[in-house]
Amino acid sequence: MKILALYRIKGGVGKTSSAVNLAYNAALGGYRTLVWDLDPQGASTYYFRIKPKIKGGSKDLMAGKRDLDGLIKGTDFANLDLIPADFSFRNLDLLLDDKKHPTQQLKKRLSPLAKDYDFVFLDCPPSISLLSEAVFKAADVLLSPVIPTTLSLRTLAQLNAFINDNEFKNTRLIPFFSMVDRRKTLHKAIMGEVLADYPDMLKTAVPYASEIERMGLERKPLPAYKDKSRAADAYSELWQEILTQMKT
């Protein structure tokens, strides 16, 4: 079981859209796939038409009263399951802080699922917190969407340093471009620059596309309503590239 976290301090950069569509592609390839919606806003839960509620809330979960397995919901798609968000997740940091080894908690909860899933996608809320550290500890890969602006490059450098300076050496940071507008000269210029500096940066970029925005109306992963589109192709290629990267 490989754990992939969609993470970025900044909000609204395409974490949730990517988590949902990449997980859909993984499941389509026959991998047993799970999405865990860690964001109390429950956006990925919403896209799968599942109620943003878990039995006992985050309290029972963190107290070890409930196994993750009992919270899993099957989505409408083969091989693809989800652990819904819950509004109580907004207090997750406080609950974690009460624990002896707060940053170990996510990893510990997920480990019993190792035989059931090939890939777990963590859809994280935008922040840097105790939860983020627990995510870094659990994840094999941090997938980080980057909008090509100078500012995002600075924060990417910071994140990279944070991961490498601390006890998260087992996590690999794989950034990729998100919401790319090819018509903007700035986007193009920055992308060229970054590809030279970050060899790990994925070659496939997710374009800025109105059909991705429509996910909120359709309440489905993009390929489930618009299979033949540039954006759907981009997610599929992105997933293939991630698979290849993980093998090296």
Partner 1 sequence: MATHFELPANLTAEALFASLNDKYETHLVSNQFFLKTYYDSFDWRLYKADLTCEFNRSKQSSSFTLINRKTNELVASTILFDVPSFSRQFNPGKVRQTLEPILEMRALLPICTLEGETSLINIVNKDGKIVLNLLIDEFELLNNRLTLLPVKGYNKVAEQIVEMVTKELGLSAVDRPVLLDALKLQGRKPKSYSSKLTFQLTPEMPTDVACKSIFTHLLSAIKINEQGTIADIDSEFLHDFRVAVRRTRALLSQASHVLPEEALTRYKDFFSWLGQITGETRDLDVYLLNFEQYKKKLPAVIRQSINPLQHFLLAKQKKSQKQLAKKLNSSKYMTTLAEWQKYLQAIPHENPPETETQSTIKHFADQRIWKTYKQIIKKGGGIDKHSPPEALHNLRKTCKKLRYLMEFFAGLYPERRIATLIKYLKNLQEVLGSYQDYAVQQQQLQQFSEEMQRINTPNKTFLAMGVLIQDFEVRKGKARDQFSSEFSIFNKSETHSSFHTLFGAGK
Ligand X SMILES: Nc1ncnc2c1ncn2[C@@H]1O[C@H](COP(=O)(O)OP(=O)(O)OP(=O)(O)O)[C@@H](O)[C@H]1O
For partner 1, the binding residues (CB under 8 A) are 48-51, 71-74, 76, 81, 219
92 Cβ contact partners less than 8 Å away, ≥ 6 residues apart: 38, 40, 58, 62, 130, 131
- Minimal CA–CA distance to 80: which of 27, 146, 118? 27
- Alpha carbon distance 4, 19 (integer Å): 9
* Contact partner, 212, from partner 1, ligand X, Mg ion, none, Cβ < 5-8 Å per class: ligand X
Binding site for ligand X (CB under 6 A): 11-17, 39, 43, 126, 178-179, 206, 208-209, 212-213, 215-216
Do residues 16 and 45 touch, judged by C-beta distance below 8 A?
no
Give the other-Cβ count within 10 Å of 46's Cβ: 19
CB-wise, 37 or 81, nearer to Mg ion?
Answer: 37
Do residues 50 and 84 touch, judged by C-beta distance below 8 A?
yes
6 scored as a contact of Mg ion (CB under 5 A) = no
CB-wise, 81 or 123, nearer to partner 1?
Answer: 81
CB-wise, 193 or 213, nearer to ligand X?
Answer: 213
Scanning 15-23, 103-111, 171-179, 232-240 for contacts with Mg ion by CB under 5 A, the matching segment is 15-23
The binder of Mg ion chosen from 43, 113, 138, 139 (CB under 5 A): 43
* Contact partner, 11, from partner 1, ligand X, Mg ion, none, Cβ < 5-8 Å per class: ligand X
Which residue's Cβ has the minimum distance to Mg ion?
Answer: 16
* Contact partner, 50, from Mg ion, ligand X, partner 1, none, Cβ < 5-8 Å per class: partner 1
- Alpha carbon distance 232, 76 (integer Å): 18
- Alpha carbon distance 69, 13 (integer Å): 30
